[in-house]
Amino acid sequence: MSKYLVNLKINNMPIAVEEGTTILEAAKKLNFRIPTLCNHPDLTVAGNCRVCVVEVKGARLLAAACATPVSEGMEVLTNSEKVRIARKHIVELLLAEHNADCTKCFKNGHCELQDLSGEYRIGDHVFLDLVKPSSKIQDISSPSIVKDDSKCIRCQRCVRTCTELQGVSALGVVNKGDHQRISTFLNKPLHEVVCTNCGQCINRCPTGALTERNYIEEVWNALYNPSKFVVVQTAPATRIALGEDLGIQVGERVTGKMVAALKKLGFNKVLDTDFTADLTIMEEGTELLTRLKKALVDKDEKVVLPMMTSCSPGWIKFQEHMYPELLDNLSTCKSPQQMFGAVAKTYYADKINIKAQDMIVVSIMPCVAKKFECERPEMRDSGYQDVDYVLTTRELAMMIKQAGIDFDKLEDEHYDSILGESTGAAVIFGATGGVMEAALRTAYEIVTGREVPFTNLNIKPVRGMEGIKEASIKIKSVKPEWSFLEGVELNVAIAHGLANARKLMEKVRSGEASYHFIEIMGCPGGCLGGGGQPIPTSPEIRKKRAEAIYSEDLEMVIRKSHENPEVAEIYREFLGEPLGHKSHDLLHTHYKVRKRY
Amino acid sequence: MSTTEVLVKELVEKNGKTRNSLMPVLQGIVHNEHFLSEEALLCVARELDLSAADVYGTASFYTFLDTVPRGKNIVRVCKTITCHMKGKDEIIKALGNALKIKVGETTNDKKFTLLTANCLGWCHKGPVMLVNDDIYPDLTTQKALEIIEEYAKDVK
Amino acid sequence: MENNLKKVDIIFEIDEKQSPLAILEKTVKRPADEIILDLIDSGLKGRGGAGFPTGLKWKFTRNEDSEVKYVICNADEGEPGTFKDREIIDRVPEKIFAGMAICGFVIGAKEGYIYLRGEYNFLLKNLQKKLDEFNAGMKKTGIDFTIYIKSGSGAYVCGEESALFESMEGKRGEPRNKPPYPTVAGYNSKPTVINNVETLVYTTMICHMGPERFKALGTKDSRGSKVFSVSGDTPISGIYELELGMPLNEFVDGFGDGDTKAVQVGGASGHCVPRKKFNDTIIGFEGIPTGGSMMIFNSSRSMYNVLHDYLEFFTEESCGQCTPCRVGCQQLLKGIEAVKRGERPPAYLDDLKKLTATMKIAAKCGLGQSVGNPFNSIIDNFREEIIY
């Protein structure tokens, strides 16, 4: 059914838009920007900050542009005297409640309230300061997220993120009136509640109320310390987003510049998490085939299917809280970050003749849950904490700025070797469906000896931004040793964003779906939309980042994990074989049941 | 199963396993246990398949859904303007002295909690107080103290 | 009461010959559109304070195409100075039930809910008993409508209709964005009529006695009568059903203690009228509308205390979601304290008045929008009392 067109005027300019369009959207079409704070393209409409109020001729009240649908004959003014006075008042009121100590704020220069305050030239505060001293005590209990209530403007973007996108609801609105605030169950510290550390709330917080726990100083200290050998690994999704924080357009790949910048910052070796992404595929692919064999041939009832990916630490903690009965479905593979740390402080340290205790492993991640992950007690298989510090893409951008590097002018450089070689399959780990695609490229070939039957190796059915994707591949003409898979229809599913993961888990738990393999990424869009990525985020931005990832894949010489020569080398020299003894010790892990409530 | 768990299950059984039952379930717990304990909130979250933060956030919105321990008898003196004019301050003072607590506090024996409330809807007969669900209009300090004494005796 | 005030007896009138159930039975035999026409003709406007024409509200909801619709009785009377609904619920509950069932018949709803404020829990037992009888009576006579009671738990803002729906749905009582209005998407997002207790009783009575008797009362803009809750400095506080459109001076003559300095019309969110304006103030939609609260203050009262009390009330009872209301209320409260203490100059009161203008047009719901009413009327008329 086609929608009606509604005619209206905005600032005396006529426009016709589809029924149901909001005033905010209609104004945007006419290139009138109406300021917003509580509104976010990923979230439902709240209409609570009131910054977007506009005048509708003939109406007693101003209308919240974000929450008001257009109507026939409506005449809207977005900058009338009434609107300006009200908007300025509202910004002043927000500032009265806000700890506006901007120069000391981690979000200084990246704050929507600061921008708005600057835009309206809010001078001396008219109103009384209402910041409660108690609100200035930050919650630093989480290794990933810092919550500072004194900066909070109650827009509830974080609450909607945690509920609508992530289905977690660790954050909620509590109390009413002057005591209303954003908090957790019984106001417990973040570390004690069901927070998955995904950091999506950070990506949508307009102020400095929610930020990542930053480790910039710690990393500088390590770099300045002559007795430390500091290696850095970069996650797949960092290279397609870092530029956004350094004046480069969304969707532009900056892999070579990022490597160059890291070298300039003083890292002793610049290596790639993509290498261990390939390694993950070898381990996880083998694990999947092994599970299938045990289930289909040995009829082993202890073997649990579907197998689920384990790269996303937000997803892992979600599962530990919400579906502890499905923990055996998780692949035992560590995430690529943690595989890297374990290999770096053993195999690699040996090879370059550095003592593990002198090595510092830093990760650049699109993720804040990785900060929690590296501190998990299970992640010390090298005998030391395998990964020492995790920086977000944003923190790296800050370091690059601090170092005075003109990022845009950098010449591309290459990752160091070894642990720097990677494939297109590893790069696409950064997008939802990417791990699945990489695994299929390898597993299918192992089983049949032929490439996956998709043009250019592009397995289109597992790509895209649909919340839950399903696909099946019929396995035909297998090699003799895989005869049990002959004719098997391999069913896979992919979800990104934990609210979608929850939907999929309900299907699995109820037995409604019979999948063999499931990929889950905790964040919308996968790692490219991770909680550590440049702010802002939106469906449009994530789409561009995904395009960048897939074009990087296309340009890679090698596009299948099992063809990575350094991966072959590490198996030959060190690990032996996938799922072998050494692998088991270094590359695999276990999970723990956490409280759901 | 603890008594709280049994109670929550009963309330959910009676009111239905949907979000729309949240208020009557929470009200039922407060009726029986005087406040919403951590255990009770968690039970409700589990039974109604809601997040614990959501249940707590909802409860904390409502003045009568206390999430801190309260006494067996909760005294709420109306503090709104007409009761103010008719001497609610004296009533509060007298009750505070008799119970040896301040507004917001609970007696050591957990028998009484003294609170104030916004308009109770008895402006023509102020000052007025609620003790649990019972209303006492046209108070004098003496009357208020007598009422409390009755509750203290557990007669009611 | 010696004066010209016309006392009326519609709400509490008990007709031995015709019970509310009988009125209901008689009414549902008539065409629904006719009932709506009668209500529109009567000029009945909502008695909760906002004053939307009841007949139109029913008509809009009737016109919505939906299998499920609801009738809700708003018994969350919480406006300071208002206590008439409690009395109505206590004395003539069947008339409320009948009004709800008539509405259900008109709009095509099968379920009705009474949202009773938690402060009135002591009414529950008796109300439930009467309701059970009434529900049984309806069942017996083949009227397919059932009424249930839901309780509030102490939140003034839940009297705002969309906040009330949220509360009934087990959520925080935060008002929704409008549109959509309840007639389109109310409780459970279904078309809903929500009426105040008193309004529903009037609908029953208009169906009983015809619109003429009601219409004959009041003025052009304020038809009929209304139940007033009279409190404060008056020797005869209590509940009175009076004709609408009366001049305030007549009201003060009838109820004041001879030393009346001001009357707060419409509760804490209403207007404060000083003595000098009693003569030109009409109580009704053409003058100052009211949900029924009339608080009388004599010259011994400090208007600073009165305003402070109101502002404290709104600061606590704001749902807290929208900026103008959450922060605005705190600013007004702390602002007058600062002026009183001399920490801000008297002129700061004018900054605050400007702020109330923003709150009035930019807050999300009626609560924040109306805080300026008491603030401005008290500041304008009793400025010295606030400053010194």
**Same-domain pairing of A369 and A478:** no
Query: What do you get for the CA distance between the two ends of chain B, in Å?
Result: 30
Residues 6+ apart with CB under 8 A from B141: B90, B91, B93, B94
HEC-encoded secondary structure of A427-441: HHHHCCCHHHHHHHH
pLDDT at residue A2, as a whole number: 62
pLDDT digits (tens, 9 = 90+) for A49-77: 999 999 999 999 999 999 999 999 999 99
The DSSP secondary-structure symbol of A578 reads: T
pLDDT value at A559 more than 90: yes
pLDDT at residue C16, as a whole number: 86
**Same-domain pairing of A322 and A460:** yes
The fold for domain B73-152 equals Glutaredoxin (3.40.30)
HEC-encoded secondary structure of A468-497: EEEEEEECCCCCHHHHHHCCCEEEEEEEEC
Contact A444, A450 (CB under 8 A): yes
**Domain assignments of chain B as residue spans, ordered by start:** 3-59, 73-152
The CATH-assigned architecture of domain C225-298 is Roll (3.10)
The answer to whether the Cβ–Cβ distance between C306 and B81 falls below 8 Å is yes
Mutation for A interface: B5, B44, B60, most A CBs within 10 A: B60
Does the domain at residues C20-215 carry the CATH identifier 3.40.50.300?
no
What is the average per-residue pLDDT within C93-110?
A: 98
Catalytic-labelled residue, pool A112, A244, A287, A519: A287
**Same-domain pairing of A41 and A184:** no
**Mean pLDDT taken over chain B:** 96
Known active-site residue A212: no
User: Which residues of chain A lie closer than 8 angstroms to B54, CB-CB?
Assistant: 163, 169, 172
pLDDT at residue A113, as a whole number: 97
Catalytic-labelled residue, pool A382, A527, A560, A583: A527
pLDDT at residue C169, as a whole number: 98
pLDDT at residue B8, as a whole number: 98
The answer to whether the Cβ–Cβ distance between C320 and A154 falls below 8 Å is yes
Domain CATH number, residue A67:
3.10.20.740
pLDDT digits (tens, 9 = 90+) for A531-553: 999 999 999 999 999 999 999 99
The burial of A144, by beta-carbon neighbours within 10 Å (0-12 exposed, 13-18 middle, 19 or more buried), is given as buried
Known active-site residue A370: yes
Catalytic-labelled residue, pool A370, A371, A469, A544: A370
Residue of A nearest to C323 (CA): A49
Question: A567-589 as b/e, with b when 16 or more CB fall inside 10 Å?
Answer: beebbeebbeebbeebbeebbbb
**Domain assignments of chain C as residue spans, ordered by start:** 20-215, 225-298, 303-380
Q: How confident is the model at residue C1 (pLDDT cuts 50, 70, 90)?
A: very low
Indicate whether A105 belongs to any domain.
Answer: no
Strand order in the sheet with A53-56: A13-18, A5-10, A74-77, A53-56, A63-64
pLDDT at residue C3, as a whole number: 53
pLDDT value at A124 more than 90: no
* Percent of chain A whose pLDDT exceeds 70: 100
pLDDT digits (tens, 9 = 90+) for C283-321: 999 999 888 999 999 999 999 999 999 999 999 999 999
φ, ψ (nearest 5 deg) of residue A521:
-120, 135
Supply the CATH classification number for the domain C303-380. 1.20.1440.230
Q: Which of A157, A185, A212 is the last residue of a domain?
A: A212
pLDDT at residue B155, as a whole number: 52
Q: Which chains touch C (3 or more CB pairs under 8 A)?
A: A, B
What tokens were used for A462? 């597992």
**Same-domain pairing of A255 and A293:** no
Distance CA A277, CA C164 (A): 52
Known active-site residue A244: no
Return the H-helix or E-strand segment holding B27.
helix B22-33
Contacts by A2-5 with C-beta closer than 8 Å and gap 24+? none
Q: How many domains does chain A have?
A: 4
Q: What is the ipTM of this complex?
A: 0.96
pLDDT digits (tens, 9 = 90+) for C27-57: 999 999 999 999 999 999 999 888 999 999 9
What is the average per-residue pLDDT within C328-356?
A: 98
Residue of C nearest to B82 (CA): C232
According to DSSP, the β-strands at C192-196 and C225-232 are unpaired
The answer to whether the Cβ–Cβ distance between C295 and B124 falls below 8 Å is no
**Mean pLDDT taken over chain A:** 96
What is the average per-residue pLDDT within B92-106?
A: 97
DSSP for A247-293?
T--TT---HHHHHHHHHHHT-SEEEEHHHHHHHHHHHHHHHHHHHHH
Sign of the Cα pseudo-torsion (A252, A258, A260, A261, in order):
positive
Length of chain B: 156
pLDDT value at A385 more than 50: yes
pLDDT digits (tens, 9 = 90+) for C232-282: 999 999 999 999 999 999 999 999 999 999 999 999 999 999 999 999 999
CA angle B103, B106, B108 (to 5 degrees): 135
Return the H-helix or E-strand segment holding B154.
none
pLDDT at residue C4, as a whole number: 59
pLDDT value at A498 more than 50: yes
Q: How confident is the model at residue B1 (pLDDT cuts 50, 70, 90)?
A: confident
pLDDT value at A291 more than 80: yes
pLDDT value at A154 more than 70: yes
pLDDT at residue C2, as a whole number: 45
Indicate whether A147 belongs to any domain.
Answer: yes
Residues from C contacting A (CB-CB < 8 Å) are 155, 157, 172, 177, 179, 315-324, 326-331, 334-335, 338, 351, 354-355, 357-358, 361-364, 369
pTM of the model: 0.96
Return the H-helix or E-strand segment holding C358.
helix C348-362
Known active-site residue A311: yes
Distance CA A105, CA A87 (A): 24
Residue of B nearest to C187 (CA): B20
Indicate whether A313 belongs to any domain.
Answer: yes
**Same-domain pairing of A166 and A195:** yes
Indicate whether A116 belongs to any domain.
Answer: no
pLDDT value at A142 more than 80: yes
Domain CATH number, residue A204:
3.30.70.20
Helices and strands in chain B: count of H runs, count of E runs: 7, 4
What tokens were used for A123? 């001078």
The answer to whether the Cβ–Cβ distance between B84 and C305 falls below 8 Å is yes
According to DSSP, the β-strands at C146-151 and A13-18 are unpaired
State how far the alpha carbon of A572 is from the alpha carbons of A347, A567, A568, A582, C129, in Å. 12, 9, 6, 12, 83
Q: Which chains touch A (3 or more CB pairs under 8 A)?
A: B, C
What is the span of the domain harbouring residue A202?
128-212
Residue of C nearest to B20 (CA): C169
Distance CA A278, CA A532 (A): 22
pLDDT value at A1 more than 90: no
pLDDT at residue B145, as a whole number: 97
Q: Which chains touch B (3 or more CB pairs under 8 A)?
A: A, C
Known active-site residue A363: no
Distance CA B87, CA B109 (A): 28
pLDDT at residue A301, as a whole number: 87
Known active-site residue A18: no
What tokens were used for A345? 């402080």
**Same-domain pairing of A149 and A297:** no
pLDDT at residue A315, as a whole number: 98
Sign of the Cα pseudo-torsion (B58, B60, B65, B66, in order):
positive
pLDDT digits (tens, 9 = 90+) for A24-35: 999 999 999 999
pLDDT digits (tens, 9 = 90+) for A192-239: 999 999 999 999 999 999 999 999 999 999 999 999 999 999 999 999
What tokens were used for C260? 């009346």
